[in-house]
């Protein structure tokens, strides 16, 4: 391993945010394509959940994680979105969360993202790893939504467009 590989960081918080926001945009476009009547009921591969339910998991982790980043050591559980039960309400909650991310992330110092904490039952890791986990989890479930859309005869968005 060259010295620069272990010592020189290359990805800034601003770049990580832009990367995340690109994914959030793609997931929103995926949501928009789901027919209202399928979003919370179509479960072709049990015990896998509906795309609506998986999306609420993605959403429900973002705000508590950002609050943990801000406040340190306080990791509330996933938000409860039981009252979000149709497409319009889901898109509204989505947009509120995306706005909260855009407002909150820039206030978190880079040094804070390098601090290690044990959150959500994971072993202690740098906070930026938690952000990466949330992005990965979103990509993972959105891709499952792509299969659901295809099974419904609907063409998903292009993966490479953000």
Interface positions with a second copy (CB under 8 A)? 1-2, 4-14, 16-17, 19, 23, 44-48, 105-111, 113-114, 122, 126, 128-129, 132-133, 136-137, 139-144, 146-148, 150-151, 159-160
- How far apart CA 46 and CA 95 sit, in angstroms, is 29
Q: Kindly tell me which of 87 and 141 has the beta carbon lying closer to a second copy.
A: 141
Q: Kindly tell me which of 85 and 143 has the beta carbon lying closer to a second copy.
A: 143
Rounded to a whole number of angstroms, the minimum distance from the CB of residue 130 to a second copy is 12
Rounded to a whole number of angstroms, the minimum distance from the CB of residue 123 to a second copy is 11
Q: How far is CA 37 from CA 8, 56, 84, in A?
A: 50, 17, 14
CA angle centred on 78, ends 95 and 96, rounded to 5°: 10
Q: Kindly tell me which of 92 and 115 has the beta carbon lying closer to a second copy.
A: 115
Tell me the Ramachandran region of residue 86: left when phi exceeds 0, alpha when psi lies from -120 to 50, beta otherwise: beta
Which distant-in-sequence residues (6+ apart) come within 8 Å of 123 by Cβ?
A: none
Q: Kindly tell me which of 73 and 123 has the beta carbon lying closer to a second copy.
A: 123
Rounded to a whole number of angstroms, the minimum distance from the CB of residue 83 to a second copy is 27
Contact 159, 26 (CB under 8 A): yes
> In the structure encoding, which two tokens stand for residue 40, read together?
């919370």
Q: Kindly tell me which of 61 and 92 has the beta carbon lying closer to a second copy.
A: 61
Bridge partner list, 126 = 116
Rounded to a whole number of angstroms, the minimum distance from the CB of residue 23 to a second copy is 8
Rounded to a whole number of angstroms, the minimum distance from the CB of residue 74 to a second copy is 21
């Amino acid at each position: 391993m060259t010295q620069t590989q272990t010592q020189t960081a290359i990805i800034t918080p601003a770049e990580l945010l832009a990367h995340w926001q690109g994914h959030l945009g793609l997931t929103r476009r995926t949501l928009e394509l789901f027919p209202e009547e399928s979003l919370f009921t179509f479960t072709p591969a049990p015990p896998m959940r509906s795309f609506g339910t998986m999306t609420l998991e993605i959403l429900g982790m973002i705000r508590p994680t950002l609050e943990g980043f801000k406040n340190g050591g306080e990791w509330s559980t996933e938000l409860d979105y039981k009252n979000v039960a149709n497409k319009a309400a889901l898109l509204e909650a989505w947009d509120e969360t995306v706005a909260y991310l855009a407002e909150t992330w820039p206030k978190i110092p880079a040094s804070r993202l390098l601090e290690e904490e044990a959150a959500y039952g994971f072993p202690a890791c740098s906070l930026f790893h938690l952000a990466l986990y949330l992005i990965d989890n979103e990509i993972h479930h959105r891709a499952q939504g792509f299969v659901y859309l295809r099974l419904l005869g609907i063409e998903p968005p292009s993966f490479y467009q953000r």
